[in-house]
Each structure stands twice: as C-alpha cells, then as structure tokens.
C-alpha cells in the first residue's frame, strides 16, 4: 500500500526540488523530517562539551595556582562525555530515519521510472539510447540516496550549527565572536560565488555530459569488435572520444578557471580562524580589567573555532548535493513525461485481422520532412503484403505503426476496421507478432528466451516452435541444448541463427497478424533457406489458416510471391500490385527488379580470367536460389 501510494503521488514541478524528490518517498517522507530534526538537535548538543571545557578553563584559571580549589572539574568532564554520547546517539537515530526514507525514495523512483517505460511507446526506445536511460533510471536514483540519507540531515545540522555558532559567538565576548565570524562570512561569499548562477549552469551541463558519456560509452563497448577488426583506437570512435573531451574540458574549466581561487581562499580562511582571533585578542588584552576571565573566553573561542571548518565544509557539500539532486529529479521526471500507450475508456474489438492504412501521415520528432506522407494501402485478412522500396522510403516506419511503436499524425491505421488507437494495447499486442532487424536475446536459457513470447507455454510447446523455426541444428550444437544460457561458455549465435530464434518466438506467440522487418538482413545463404522455411510455417496458424503478414524486405526474391507488393518511395506509396503487375507497369519496382537481377548475377573475376574470356561473351551468371513467401 505504501509503495502504491508513492507511485500514485505526482510531484509538483513548481515545488522545490527537495519537495518533489520527497514525493517519491510516500509516507516515509515523515522520517526524513524527523531525521533532520534529530540531526539539528544532535549538532546543538555537540556544543555541550565546548561549553563544559569553557567552564573547566574558567574554574582552573580562577583557582590558579591552587588547583585543588577547582572541585567541579570532574563534573564538567562527565557532563562533556554525556553531551558527546547524546550527540552521537541522536545523529545515529536521525541517520537511520533518513536512510529508511532515502531507500524507499530511490526504490520508488526506479520502480516508477521502470513501470512508466514499460508502458511507453516502443518507438521511444529508438530515439533514447539504452545507456542514457540506464543512467537516468539507476544513476539519478543513486545520487538522490546520498542527498536524502546524508546531505539533507547534515544540512539541517549545519544550519543548526551556524545558528548555534552565531549565538555562542556573542554569549561570552562579542568582540572575539566577531573575529571568529569574519572567516565564516568570507567562506560563504566564496561559496556563493562558486555555486551561484554559473555554478547551477555548470551542474546542468555536467550531468548532461555524464549522460552523453554513458550513452556513447555503451555504444563504443558494443562496437569494439568493429574497432578491433579495423585496427583502430578510441579516437576512431569519434562520438565517445568527443564526449570524453567535452567532459574533461568542462570539468577543468570550472575547477581551474572558476573555482580555484575562491576555493583556495575559502579553505585558507576557515582553517586559520585563529589568525583572525589572535590579533584581536592581543589588541583587547591591555584594556581588560579581569584578565583571567578574558583568558577563559579566549580559550573558549580558540577551541570552538575548530568547529568552523566542519560547518563550512558541510555547507559546501550541501550546495553541490542540492544541485545534483535538482538535476537528477528533473531527468527522472523527463522519463516520467514520456508518452505512454494508454487504453481508451471504451476499447473496441476488431472485426477481423485485416490491416488498412488510410491516408496516413507521420513525421518523426525533430524532423522537417514526413516519413510517411498520405499513405494508403490494404492488407486483407490472411494475405501477405510486402513493403519494398529505396532506403529511407518509409517501409520500417509503416511497419512500426501497426503495433503502435508510434501513432500516426493524421489518417488512420486500422486493424479489422478499428483504429489501433481505439484498441486496448494488450489486445493489440496479443494480435500482433513482430520480428525486426534488432534482435534482443536475454542472458537466459534459450528456452526462456523463446518462452518470453508466451510465458505460460509448456516446454513441449517451446520445443515445437523451435522445430517449426528450423532451430534444431542450433539446439544440437549448444552444450546444454535448449537449457543453455545465451552468452555463457561460448554459446553465441550468428545473426541468422538469432533471427531464427526470433521467428520461434513469433511462432510460439501464435498471433493472427505478423509484422516482419527485413528478417533476412543478417542471414547467410544457408540460414536464409531455413528462415524462408520458417516463414512458411509462421505464415500459417496452428489450424493451418493463413495469417495476415506485413513484411519489409530489400531482397526482392523473398517477396515475389506475395499477394501484393507496395512500393514506398520518399514516404509515398508509389506503386501497388503483384510482382507480375508491377513488372508490366515498368515503374520503380521494375527498375529495382532489374537492378536486383544484375546484383545476383555479379561475380568477381581476376584480371587474368577476364583476359582469357572471348570478347563479346558475358561472365557466367552465378546460380541463385530464390526464396518465396507462402
């Protein structure tokens, strides 16, 4: 109940960042307030030993040289010990409270961000790198833990300490108090200079640089095989190198050009508070009538000035923590603002499994040109329709609109006569199985990887799906068969083999609509033959009835037997028809087919072989095997 209450709480963006942050803690935010109060009391109690020392020094100076007359020295010592123990105990209890609240806050922050991402449109992950999202979800939550668990109670203690210092500075001798106050004022002025407007701007750019470096670092690690193959260094991966350079220059510029002098001045004055106290004491001592009392006061301020560096250091770290937490909560709220796929109030059920694009226009965020521009075509129920065309024509975009990776800007994407936006997202996902170019295999067994499509499937059903997807040879070569954990003991798969596992997932899901995006992109000839066989099985349901198939392909041989081919060019549906009809039309598809035939007949010959061939003869045309969609 507590976690749900926290999950339902919506931080008010107009509120203070700490208040927005505490909204994630739910009812446990009260523990944060209690912990801060206890920390403040602990800091005030910690002044007790200094006061006891002053009393002891006063009695000793007054009784000198008859030390036995100072009979209360032991009492002051016990009181000082009691104050010290009480201060430690209060601070410990306060930190326990703030830690409980901080852990709940970080936990709810991660849960809410993860849960929100689970409901975000799948297209959101195409424009937001996984490394950057991981940095926000995990890294930002981690940063807020330190603020709530330590920095916030320390801030309360620092405020109480400074208030108590100001009070004690003027209790015994205000003149010596003012002398001790000078380094505090100088240090605060230096901190405001460092943490002011430019400091806030630096923290924002600093966090952005960290996210960018994390993102490009993830991409670099994934691209290491390419870098090593071409014998390059980190400098070849320009984005990562530039991110490191940007972070380095940013940090050095801020530290050296902006903070070096004020930070050195601040540390110097707070560490040498006695340098301000001694000259004042020397000037005042000749005019004192009660020199013993003045000496006792001087001893108190000389000892108490040691508290100043601790107080000011806490204030400095407090400012830095608040800036980091402000940026962290802003970034988490940006993730929580990601558009989600929500179920309509009155969801509609499709009449069948036909797909229809009705005057669809879609533009990616930040792009000036539409990816799809008034596109219309039909995919009858049980038919296979292929999307072909030049790169960048909008094929993948069109395929992505069916399972609502994105929503059309205008027009309608219909399934069974129902706009996909009017369907329950769970119903839509249950009706569509998709296999895209980007293969995602988890660090789990092959069995569990395939079962991800239908968690309630039995082992026998998974094995049947693997058999239908032509994966028997893959399972046979793995050390533990279908129970082999992917990525362990050298159990890695080629792109074509991974693609067959993706097809096994789709077969196991048994959805009536199948969306395929360049499923043979990474397949060698042997794998392509098996993938084509898996296509035939995927194109039919368990009962043998044909499924509705929308496929994107660049290899025209894989789509020549499709029921209809839609040619997309520059976001528009340039042509539609069967293979024979489009060839007869002599348009863009016919030119693409002619280019394809030239490409498959092309072969490499040596200069010597070319010179031996008779003039006027063509090189022997390579034999090719053309696959087709059933």
Digit-coded pLDDT (tens) for 116-137: 888 777 777 776 766 667 777 7
Distance CA 432, CA 466 (A): 19
Task: Report CA torsion sign: 44, 46, 52, 54.
Answer: negative
Percent of the residues in the chain that have a pLDDT greater than 70, as a whole number: 83
Between 105 and 139, the more confident residue is 105
Instruction: Tell me how far CA of residue 583 lies from CA of 560, 590, 629, in angstroms.
Output: 11, 5, 18
Nearest to 313 by CA among 364, 263, 240, 381: 263
Give the integer Cα–Cα distance in Å for 9 and 23: 6
The per-residue pLDDT of the chain, averaged, comes to 79
> Could you give the residue range(s) of every CATH 3.40.50.300 domain in the chain?
355-611
Distance CA 92, CA 89 (A): 5
48, 79 contact by CB (below 8 A): yes
SS3 555: coil
Task: Give CA angle at 435 (430, 436), nearest 5°.
Answer: 125
CB atoms within 10 A of CB 594: 11
Lowest mean pLDDT among 15-19, 88-92, 422-426: 15-19
Closest by CA position to 325, among listed 485, 140, 169? 140
The answer to whether the CB of 470 falls within 8 A of the CB of 531 is yes
11: how many CB neighbours lie within 10 A of its CB? 18
133-156 average pLDDT score:
78
Region 389-406 average pLDDT: 88
The partner residues of 377 in beta bridges, in order of sequence, read: 357
What is the residue whose two structure tokens read 């348009």? 587
At 289, list the tokens.
């009538």
Mean pLDDT: which of 52-56, 421-425, 625-629 is highest?
421-425
Of residues 467 and 558, more confidently modeled: 467
**pLDDT(81) > 80:** yes
Q: Residue 547 — pLDDT band, cuts 50, 70, 90?
A: confident
Architecture of domain 2-336: Up-down Bundle (1.20)
Mean pLDDT of 294-317: 74
DSSP code, position 139: I
**Of the spans 183-192, 374-383, 470-479, which averages the highest pLDDT?**
374-383
* Range with lowest mean pLDDT among 232-246, 376-390, 399-413: 232-246
Lowest-confidence pick of 35-44, 218-227, 551-560: 218-227
The number of helices, as runs of H, and strands, as runs of E, in the chain is: 27, 10
Q: Which of 52-56, 276-280, 517-521 has the lowest mean pLDDT?
A: 517-521
Q: What is the pLDDT of residue 2?
A: 41
For the domain covering 355-611, report its CATH number. Answer: 3.40.50.300
Segment 225-236, tens digit of pLDDT: 666 666 666 555
> Between 310 and 383, where is the model more confident?
383
Q: How many CA atoms lie within 13 A of 257 on its CB side?
A: 9
Averaged pLDDT, 340-347: 82
Q: Which is more confident, 362 or 323?
A: 362
Residue 572: pLDDT band with limits 50, 70, 90: very high
pLDDT digits (tens, 9 = 90+) for 474-526: 888 888 888 888 876 656 777 778 888 888 888 888 888 988 876 555 555 66
Looking up tokens 């660049």 gives: 554
Q: Please, where in the chain does CATH 1.20.1560.10 lie?
A: 2-336
Q: Average of pLDDT values for 268-280?
A: 79
Task: Decide if pLDDT at 95 tops 90.
Answer: yes
């Amino acid at each position: 109940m507590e976690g749900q209450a926290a999950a339902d709480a919506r931080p008010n963006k107009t509120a203070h960042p700490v208040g927005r942050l505490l909204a994630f803690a739910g009812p446990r935010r009260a523990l944060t307030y209690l912990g801060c109060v206890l920390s403040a009391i602990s800091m005030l109690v910690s002044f007790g030993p200094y006061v006891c020392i002053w009393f002891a020094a006063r009695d000793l100076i007054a009784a000198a040289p008859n030390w036995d007359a100072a009979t209360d020295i032991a009492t002051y010592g016990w009181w000082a010990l009691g104050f010290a123990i009480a201060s430690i105990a209060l601070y410990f209890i306060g930190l326990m409270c703030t830690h409980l609240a901080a852990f709940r806050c970080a936990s709810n922050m991660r849960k809410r961000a993860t849960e929100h991402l689970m409901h975000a449109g799948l297209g959101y992950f195409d424009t937001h790198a996984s490394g950057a999202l991981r940095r926000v979800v995990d890294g930002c939550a981690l940063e807020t833990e330190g603020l709530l668990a330590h920095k916030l109670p320390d801030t309360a203690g620092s405020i109480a300490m400074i208030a108590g210092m100001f009070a004690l500075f003027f209790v015994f001798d205000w003149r010596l108090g003012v002398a001790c106050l000078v380094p505090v004022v100088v240090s605060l002025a230096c901190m405001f200079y460092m943490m002011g407007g430019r400091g806030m701007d630096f923290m924002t750019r600093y966090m952005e640089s960290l996210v960018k470096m994390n993102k490009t670092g993830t991409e670099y690690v994934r691209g290491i095989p390419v870098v090593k193959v071409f014998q390059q260094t980190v400098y070849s991966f320009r984005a990562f190198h530039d991110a490191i350079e940007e972070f380095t220059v940013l940090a050095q510029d801020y530290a050296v050009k902006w903070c070096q002098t004020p930070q050195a001045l601040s540390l110097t004055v707070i560490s040498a508070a006695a340098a301000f106290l001694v000259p004042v004491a020397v000037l005042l001592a000749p005019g004192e009538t009660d020199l013993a009392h003045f000496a006792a006061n001087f001893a108190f301020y000389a000892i108490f000035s040691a508290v100043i560096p601790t107080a000011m250091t806490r204030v400095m770290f407090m400012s830095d923590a608040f800036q980091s937490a402000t940026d962290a909560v802003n970034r988490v709220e940006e993730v929580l603002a990601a558009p989600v796929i929500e179920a309509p109030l009155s969801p509609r059920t499709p009449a069948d499994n036909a797909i229809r694009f009705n005057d669809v226009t879609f533009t990616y965020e930040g792009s000036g040109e539409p990816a799809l521009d008034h596109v219309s075509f039909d995919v009858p129920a049980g038919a296979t329709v292929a999307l072909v065309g030049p790169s960048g024509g909008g094929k993948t975009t069109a395929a992505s609109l069916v399972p609502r990776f994105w929503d059309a800007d205008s027009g309608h994407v219909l399934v069974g006569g129902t706009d996909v936006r009017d369907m329950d997202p769970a119903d839509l996902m249950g009706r569509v199985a998709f296999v895209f170019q980007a293969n995602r295999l988890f660090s789990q067994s092959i069995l569990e990887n395939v079962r991800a499509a239908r968690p309630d499937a039995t082992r026998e059903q998974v094995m049947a799906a693997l058999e239908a997807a032509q994966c028997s040879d893959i399972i046979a070569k793995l050390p533990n068969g279908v129970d082999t954990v992917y990525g362990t003991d050298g159990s890695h798969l080629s792109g074509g083999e991974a693609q067959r596992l993706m097809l096994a997932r789709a077969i196991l899901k048994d959805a009536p609509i199948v969306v395929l995006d360049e499923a043979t992109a990474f397949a060698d000839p042997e794998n392509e033959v098996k993938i084509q066989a898996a296509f035939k099985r995927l194109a039919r349901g368990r009962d043998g009835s044909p499924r509705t198939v929308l496929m994107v392909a660049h290899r025209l041989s894989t789509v020549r037997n499709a029921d209809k081919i839609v040619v997309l060019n520059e976001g528009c549906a340039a042509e539609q028809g069967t293979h024979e009809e489009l060839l007869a039309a002599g348009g863009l598809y016919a030119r693409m087919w002619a280019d394809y035939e030239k490409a498959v007949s092309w072969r490499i010959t040596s200069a010597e072989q070319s010179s031996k061939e008779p003039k006027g003869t063509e090189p022997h045309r390579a034999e090719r095997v053309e696959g087709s969609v059933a």
